[in-house]
Amino acid sequence: MKKLLLVMALMLLSGIAWANTDNLASSEYSASGQVSAAQGIVCAVTFTDIGGTAGDKMQLLNSTTSSGNSEITMTAATVNATVVQSFSPCVYFSTGIYLVKTGSGTYAVDVQYQTL
């Protein structure tokens, strides 16, 4: 039984959804656009919305363009909101990573990601 648990733990740790934090890129965006043209993982996102309204939204799409499936959505609950989210395991993007922001506020999005 101990050997089985050890093998299962090693299989989980060797998966692509586990990131080495030393290899993560940290990029800040203030407009919708492409984060990565390659497949990768996102391990953390910070969304700051200044002067907008509650309900302003940020999405990370599994795409290299503005059309694609949303893998991560963050919504500002109040005016001048900051939303921080980390993911364990990290979120896998098979095509690319594209940022879309909807709403009226000035914003900054910090994406911690790694291309594969």
| pLDDT of the residue at 42 | 96
CA distance 60 to 100: 6
At 81-96, the pLDDT tens digits run 899 999 999 999 999 9
CA distance 110 to 46: 5
| pLDDT of the residue at 98 | 97
Chain-centroid distance of CA 47 in Å reads 10
| pLDDT of the residue at 53 | 85
CA distance 73 to 70: 7
Question: Which of 7-11, 19-23, 45-49 has maximum average pLDDT?
Answer: 45-49
Q: Which fold has domain 2-115?
A: Jelly Rolls (2.60.120)
DSSP-based three-state secondary structure for 79: coil
Confidence grade of residue 18 (pLDDT, cut at 50, 70, 90): very low
Q: What is the residue extent of each domain of the chain?
A: 2-115
CA distances (Å), origin 114, targets 12, 20, 57: 18, 9, 23
Q: Does the pLDDT of residue 5 top 80, yes or no? A: no
At 45-75, the pLDDT tens digits run 999 988 888 899 999 999 999 999 999 999 9
User: What is the arithmetic mean of pLDDT over 11-34?
Assistant: 67
| pLDDT of the residue at 85 | 94
